[in-house]
Amino acid sequence: MNRSLSIRSSKGGPPGPQTPARKKGFSFASLRGSIQPELSRRLYQVIKSTNNLVSSHEAAGRERETIAKQLSEWGEQTGDDAVSDISDKVGVVLSELGAQEETYAHNLDEARGVLKTIRNTEKSVQPSRDAKGKIADEIQRLKLKEPQSTRLVILEQELVRAEAENLVAEAQLTNITRKKLKESYEAEFAAVIERAEKQIILAKHGRRLLDLLDDSPVTPGDSRHAYEHGNAARQVLNDAEDDLKSYAEHNVDGVDSIIGGDRDAEYVAGHNDNYTRTYTDNGDGRGETPVMTGGIGQSVGGDHHVPAAADVPYVSPTPTSSNDDRM
């Protein structure tokens, strides 16, 4: 997560880290792309459709970052200190969500690239299949028209060689297909898990920011209390970055199996324990209202109230760095 505590502070400053751009453009290979052997045609369509999916996620990430900037600029011109600060800090969270979307798109594109190995192998096997079939067809034709032809012996020998070559190619294809299919979608599912868990981290800290905004109604002529949660809002962003760093440290070697990985299960459980959702009856006939227990600034029901973020320090479920590390 970019250490910037404000979208506005980045105006005119150095650009943040960028996701490596994918190479695009026309080539002879792309012009011939629609002409595929029968064997590789379906996988070619999968790869092509996945490329469109990658572009969509890249566009979604850029749009999210644009929205974050627009939200911050809108909040600044409202003249409300609380709205201005919270909208700016929420913009930082939204911008990071956009960056995560672009990172996911990059990982998805890498997983897509693995499938190309299968496609290329399929293309290389197709001539072997065609050659074997052509010789077999020729033998059948001669047996019907010239059953005594001396060419039949030669063709049968060629067929034996073609079948042997095709046998090797088919074995190579099945080995590569299984290995690369597993490799590709393991990478994609790992990217999905990483994106989802980081989105959860950011969304929960975004809700903490919203808890700092007093939305109780005021009567005409009355003024609101001065906004005093600037430090608490900055701390929320610090906590968000620390949790993202800690997540990365817990997943140095990639995301383990979400089913069998005890390390990841404990990490997710640690986050979820701090944000257990319960439900209380409104008493007004509108059904149940979700209430965050262990969260910040939420009513638990009746006259009980959980202290606001400015009153209770946030305790990260993962070790956080010291203030010196943030310099």
Closest Cα partner for 109 from 16, 24, 179? 24
The pLDDT tens digits of the residues spanning 97-130 come to 999 999 999 999 999 999 999 999 999 888 888 8
**Percent of the chain whose predicted confidence (pLDDT) is above 90:** 48
Write down the pTM of the prediction. Answer: 0.66
Amino acid 280: pLDDT: 40
Task: List all residues 6 or more positions away from 17 whose beta carbon is below 8 Å from its beta carbon.
Answer: 2, 99
For residue 16, what pLDDT is reported? 52
Q: What is the mean pLDDT of residues 145-153?
A: 85
Is residue 257 classed as helix, strand or coil in its secondary structure? coil
Nearest Cα residue to 207 out of 274, 148, 127, 111: 274
1 has pLDDT over 90? no
The CA distances from residue 169 to 132, 157, 177, 197, in Å, are: 12, 19, 12, 42
Cα–Cα distance, 315 to 237 (Å, whole number): 13
All structural domains of the chain: 34-213+240-253 (1.20.1270.60)
pLDDT at 41 over 70: yes
pLDDT value for 252: 66
E strands of the chain, at which residues? 276-281, 288-293, 299-301, 304-305
Q: pLDDT tens for residues 158-181?
A: 899 989 998 999 999 999 999 999
Contact 239, 205 (CB under 8 A): yes
pLDDT digit string (tens) for 261-283?
A: 444 444 444 444 443 333 344 44
State how far Cα 70 lies from the chain centre: 23
